[in-house]
Structures are given as structure tokens and as C-alpha cells.
């Protein structure tokens, strides 16, 4: 891997703030500033700022934009109103996952897709390859020109509201508006990856550092903190939100990953539909579940899951969950063992450590469902 790591528009700001920078999906990103546990608590208790400018944005526009997205993604794009956001999945014909993403309906015939940073090139090739010839839909990769700051936590609404040119309390969950925040033109999206209320602010790459500074300044009294990828991971884990590359990838299908709620075969044809309908009819063989360690141990990605000494699954994500104060994990287990309360074990350095399937999210979601 000799490819130089890419940097977001906030790289200098992170270094100046004393962040520990690490490679992540081809990017040089802040993993922590003050410390993962402290940052995690700041988001649950006050408000945190995340630089997620590494994520990719594509736009697709034209009379057939909706039709093209219907054939590419699993969720029902036609059900999306202008100003609304939708979580969705790009699948291969066999039902396994190219990427998970959010779809924004910018206008009747114009959409934006937000994709995972490590998948930008792969997704770009995929959407172009699978856009049928003759369809009037133009793809634009705007990832390099777009900055993205997530503002998450119970004080996020007050902080963004103070800087916005409009009443952001009116923006519902998975809705967005265009406006200015701290004088910067932005797409203000009520979405996030933490389980807390908050926003994701899309702006020009060149404006990102100015907006970051404005949020830090205006959020001082709210206890605003910069949050690295480390806390982003523990926050999403407590919500059992899947992370591409850990919990979902091109070997896992959307149904076993628990993403059946965004798979809508009734809408018509899409890539992966036949395979997913077959899997749904036959029943999934394994399920992504939340597990809690009964014995003290940290379950990590790749550790085997056991039942009475037999291997029945694998851990996909695991950590200490600061808000639940437990060692928690996500794992694929054989479907008959996926029920809440099932006693399992995780093999940690050769030793079987007791664990059990629990209800998720591990920590109650506080997103604003208005």
C-alpha cells in the first residue's frame, strides 16, 4: 500500500488540536483527541463534532434519476419526498453488499448519495456499470468538493440552531433543508450515526474549516468537543449500527445483516432482488445479533462464537461500551441461536468466555423521531 493517504479539509485543524491521526480507509483521520471514553460521553451528554468529510457524495440527475436509483438500491426511492433522506443498500446480484448509504432527494429528478469513504471508487464504478444505457441520468462524483461535519448530542439542536439562518427544530428526522450555518452555505441534514439527536452538515470543501471553527466557538457553553473515529465506533456499536468492512461486506447479505427493513421487493426490479427474495423465502441461515459478555473479556472482530464448544458464528465488532458499562459485540450466529437470551461463548485467546444474546440497541436511541 504505497498510495498516499488522503486528507480532509480539516487535517490541519485536527493536528493543531492535538488529535492522534491514523490511517482509515485510505484517509488520514483523527482517531481521538481527549480520549475515546471522554469523547463518547461528551456526545451522549452534551454535543460533539465529527469530521466525516472522508465520506463520498455522488449526485445523479435527469428524468430517469429515480428509475436508475430504484434499480441500483434496495429501498423504495419513489417513496422519498424532496427534502427527505433514506437509508439504503447497494447489492450485488447475489444479495451481498457493495455498500450501505443514504439517499437524499434534492429535487424530483436530482438525488445525492452518501457512501463510505473506503468504498468511493468501488461504488462509483458500480453505479456507472449498472446504470442502464439509454437512461437519461447523469452521475457526478462530488466527493472531493464536499466537506461533511456531524454535530451530534442532546445539545446539537441548540448549537446548530444558534448558527443557522432558519429554525432547525422544524427539520424532522431523516429530513434536510438548505441554508446557511455560521454564514456557510450548507445542506442541513437531521441524520447521524450515534443514536443521539443531531445533524450532518454538508458544505463546500473550502468552507469546511470555517464552519468547524464557528461550531467550536459557538458551542463552548454547550461543552462541545471534537470527536474522533474511536468514539464514533463505540457510539455506533451501542446502537448496533452496522459498519461496512466490519459487520457488512460483499460476503454478507442484506437480510442476515438485519437490513430487511430497507429491502423492498414490492417496488419492482433491483440488483439483488431475486437472490434476496429467495433468501427471505427460505429463511436466513445466520443473523447479526447483539451480544453482551457475561465473563469479563473484550470480544473483537473475527473472534469465534461458540455454543457448547461448537463454532456457531463470528464476532464482527466488539468493544467496551462506555454508556452501557459492559463489554458488548455484534456477531453473526446461526439463526436458531439468534434469540434474545441465548447463552453463547466467545473464544478469546483460546478461552471460551460466556456471553449472551441481548436486545438491541444496547443503549436507548434518542434520535428525534418527529
Partner 1 sequence: MSNIPKDLKYTREHEWAKAEGDRVRVGITAYAQEQLGDVVFVELPKVGTKVTAKKPFGVVESVKAVSDLFAPVSGEVVEVNGELPNKPETVNQDPYGKGWMIVVKPSSKADWDQLLTAQQYEEFLKQGGH
Binding site for partner 1 (CB under 8 A): 20, 31-32, 35-38, 230, 233-234, 296-298, 300, 319-320, 327, 349
For the bound state, the minimum distance from the C-beta of residue 233 to partner 1, rounded and expressed in Å, comes to 8
Strands (E), 298-366: 304-307, 310-321, 326-334, 343-348, 351-358
For the bound state, the minimum distance from the C-beta of residue 48 to partner 1, rounded and expressed in Å, comes to 16
Nearest to partner 1 of 300, 356 (CB atom): 300
For the bound state, the minimum distance from the C-beta of residue 347 to partner 1, rounded and expressed in Å, comes to 14
Nearest to partner 1 of 310, 349 (CB atom): 349
Give Cβ neighbours of residue 5 (< 8 Å, ≥ 6 apart): 23, 26, 27, 28
Nearest to partner 1 of 232, 273 (CB atom): 232
Nearest to partner 1 of 296, 359 (CB atom): 296
Nearest to partner 1 of 39, 256 (CB atom): 39
CA 129 to CA 94: how far, in whole Å?
A: 16
Q: Which residues pair with 343 in a beta bridge?
A: 356
Nearest to partner 1 of 278, 296 (CB atom): 296
Contact 81, 28 (CB under 8 A): no
Radius of gyration of the chain (CA): 20
Closest CA to 137 of 111, 101, 107: 111
For the bound state, the minimum distance from the C-beta of residue 41 to partner 1, rounded and expressed in Å, comes to 11
Query: Which residue has 471553527 as its cell numbers?
Result: 213
246 CB-contact burial (10 Å; exposed 0-12 / middle 13-18 / buried 19+)? middle
For the bound state, the minimum distance from the C-beta of residue 50 to partner 1, rounded and expressed in Å, comes to 16
For the bound state, the minimum distance from the C-beta of residue 298 to partner 1, rounded and expressed in Å, comes to 5
Nearest to partner 1 of 92, 320 (CB atom): 320
Contact 18, 39 (CB under 8 A): no
For the bound state, the minimum distance from the C-beta of residue 230 to partner 1, rounded and expressed in Å, comes to 6
Closest CA to 246 of 125, 180, 331, 165: 331
Closest CA to 49 of 176, 173, 179, 181: 181
Contact 195, 361 (CB under 8 A): yes
Amino acid at each position: 500500500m504505497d498510495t498516499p493517504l488522503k486528507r480532509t479539509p480539516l487535517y490541519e485543524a485536527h493536528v493543531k488540536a492535538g488529535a492522534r491521526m491514523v490511517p482509515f480507509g485510505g484517509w488520514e483521520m483523527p482517531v481521538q483527541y481527549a480520549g475515546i471514553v471522554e469523547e463518547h460521553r461528551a456526545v451522549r451528554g452534551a454535543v460533539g463534532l465529527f469530521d466525516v468529510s472522508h465520506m463520498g457524495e455522488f449526485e445523479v440527475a435527469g428524468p430517469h434519476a429515480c428509475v436508475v436509483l430504484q434499480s441500483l438500491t434496495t429501498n423504495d426511492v419513489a417513496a422519498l419526498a424532496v427534502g427527505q433522506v433514506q437509508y439504503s443498500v447497494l447489492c450485488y446480484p447475489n444479495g451481498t453488499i457493495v455498500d450501505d448509504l443514504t439517499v437524499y432527494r434534492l429535487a424530483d429528478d436530482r438525488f445525492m448519495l452518501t457512501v463510505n469513504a473506503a468504498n468511493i471508487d468501488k461504488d462509483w464504478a458500480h453505479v456507472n456499470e449498472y446504470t442502464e444505457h439509454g437512461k437519461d441520468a447523469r452521475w457526478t462524483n462530488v466527493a472531493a468538493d464536499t466537506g461533511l461535519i456531524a454535530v451530534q448530542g442532546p445539545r446539537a439542536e441548540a448549537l446548530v440552531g444558534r448558527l443557522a439562518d432558519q429554525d432547525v427544530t422544524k427539520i424532522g428526522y431523516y429530513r434536510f433543508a438548505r441554508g446557511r450555518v455560521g454564514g456557510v452555505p450548507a445542506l442541513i441534514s437531521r441524520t447521524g450515526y450515534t443514536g443521539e439527536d443531531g445533524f450532518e452538515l454538508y458544505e463546500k470543501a473550502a468552507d469546511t474549516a470555517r464552519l468547524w471553527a464557528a461550531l467550536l466557538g459557538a458551542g463552548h457553553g454547550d461543552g462541545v468537543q471534537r470527536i474522533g473515529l474511536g468514539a464514533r465506533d463505540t457510539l455506533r456499536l451501542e446502537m448496533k449500527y452496522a459498519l461496512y468492512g466490519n459487520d457488512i461486506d460483499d460476503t454478507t447479505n442484506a437480510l442476515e445483516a438485519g437490513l430487511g427493513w430497507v429491502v423492498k421487493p414490492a417496488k419492482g426490479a433491483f440488483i439483488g432482488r431475486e437472490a434476496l427474495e429467495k433468501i427471505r423465502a427460505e429463511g436466513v441461515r445466520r443473523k447479526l445479533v447483539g451480544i453482551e459478555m457475561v465473563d469479563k473479556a473484550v470480544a473483537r472482530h473475527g473472534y469465534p462464537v461458540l455454543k457448547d464448544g461448537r463454532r456457531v458464528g463470528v464476532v464482527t465488532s466488539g468493544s467496551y461500551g462506555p454508556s452501557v458499562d459492559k463489554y458488548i459485540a455484534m456477531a453473526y450466529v446461526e439463526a436458531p441461536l439468534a434469540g434474545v437470551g441465548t447463552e453463547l461463548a466467545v473464544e478469546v485467546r483460546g478461552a471460551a468466555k460466556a456471553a449472551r444474546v441481548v436486545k438491541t440497541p444496547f443503549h436507548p436511541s434518542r434520535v428525534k423521531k418527529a
